[in-house]
Chain A
Amino acid sequence: MTLFNFTSSRNRRPRDTDDELLASVAATGSVSAFETLVERYSRRVFALIVRVVGSAPDAEELTQDVMMRVYNRAIAFDGRSAVGTWIFRIAYNMAIDYTRSTAARPDHTLADTPLSDLDSRLHPADESDADPRLAVLEAAMQRLEAADRALLTLYYYDSRSVAEIAEIMHMTASNVKVRLMRLRNRLRESINSDLSSGL
């Protein structure tokens, strides 16, 4: 059966640029080019999504859905932004839509989902134990809105520029700057107040 004839190791295309890979996916539906794109972006897309949705299993599923959307909509990519920015915009939109849909569920409580799962999968005990500020900061970040967590992840984890973040999050660059500034102040205050009350 032709469906399973491709072998990932033989067909990998590590030297192709993102644009070339996406063009190949758009023109011929190339699965090997798509697999290389997935390898390049899935980890960072997962990092963004897991920060937004709070649940690692859900984030894994959503990451796959994001990459499938990339595959199916490759032909619609107009080249006005970088491929990475385009993929992150899809990821951000889907993650935010997911949080809205789960928040609308009657059985969903915002308090239990994010922290319980993230604590076990993303928050190594040794690191938090070594620096109490880190644990406080982690807790403060979990209290932020989903979009704010996405903003911090894109800026600090993925090192995206303000312009790219603005494009991904449908904001102006000025708004991104102001929001980053407020978030930093808010996190600073959280750390100060939480640690002070604990001392």
Chain B
Amino acid sequence: MKQIFHNQGERHLARRLPDSFNPDATRHTDADDSDDMLLDSLISRSVSQLDRSPGLPSNFAYRTAMRAAAEAAESRARTERRERLLSRLIPAAAVVAAIAAVAIAVPNLPRIVADIFTHDSQYMDMAARTALPASAAWLIGVISVVGAMLLGLNTILKRIVTRTATRNQSTH
């Protein structure tokens, strides 16, 4: 039985024990071991066949760059749409929150206002009785904080969007 490689790895294994093994140092330089060199050479030739394969098309880099540009543009458009939506939703939400806060805190506000204009003390007394001093104040506080957070978030998002838009514009 003919063997192409004679050492069957033992000699190689012994020389390449974990402490001493250094493939970088022995890659193609160990002239004493022709079997190892032959194997290295064969593996290198085998993997280097990739060089002669059709591989990637010549315009691959261009196509990939175009895809990146298209995806960046799409992402920019998506961000702008989100920004437009948020710029409408957040003020509307803030207004609704403010109305809700006032309505919860002072449920008789319309009557009080009417009372002021008509100089009728009936509703002012009622307002004094039905107002919720402690809980109302607490609720107003919470809603104000949430509103402020929403407005702050809006500001942050606007800054991010502006920065992204600047970055994308400088791309082209």
Contacts and interface: CB of A to CB of B under 8 A. Distances in A.
A4 B47 contact: no
Range class of the A interface residue count: 35 or more
Contacts of A50: 50, 53
A43 B4 contact: no
Contact of A46 (B47, B55, B170): B55
Interface in B28-55: 35-36, 39-40, 42-50, 52-55
Contacts of A35: 61-62, 64-65
A6 B55 contact: no
B9 A185 contact: yes
Contacts of A138: 46, 49
A106 B36 CA distance: 41
B8 A181 contact: no
Interface string A172-196: 0010011011001101110110011
B46 A192 contact: no
B72 A29 contact: yes
A76 interface: no
B44 A156 contact: yes
Interface stretch (B16-24, B89-97, B100-108, B117-125): B16-24
Contacts of A3: 69-70, 73, 172
Given A133-B42, A162-B23, A188 B68 contact: no
Interface in A26-83: 27-32, 34-36, 38-39, 42-43, 46-47, 50-51, 56, 60, 63-64, 67-68, 71-72
B52 A29 contact: no
Given A3-B73, A133-B4, A162-B23, A122 B64 contact: no
A71 B53 CA distance: 27
Closest 5 A/B residue pairs (Cβ):
A185-B9, A35-B65, A157-B47, A38-B61, A2-B172
Interface of B: 1-5, 8-9, 12-13, 16, 18, 21-24, 35-36, 39-40, 42-50, 52-57, 60-73, 167-172
Given A39-B61, A137-B42, 13 more contacts: A30-B171, A31-B65, A36-B61, A43-B55, A47-B47, A60-B57, A122-B50, A138-B46, A177-B23, A185-B9, A187-B43, A188-B5, A191-B39
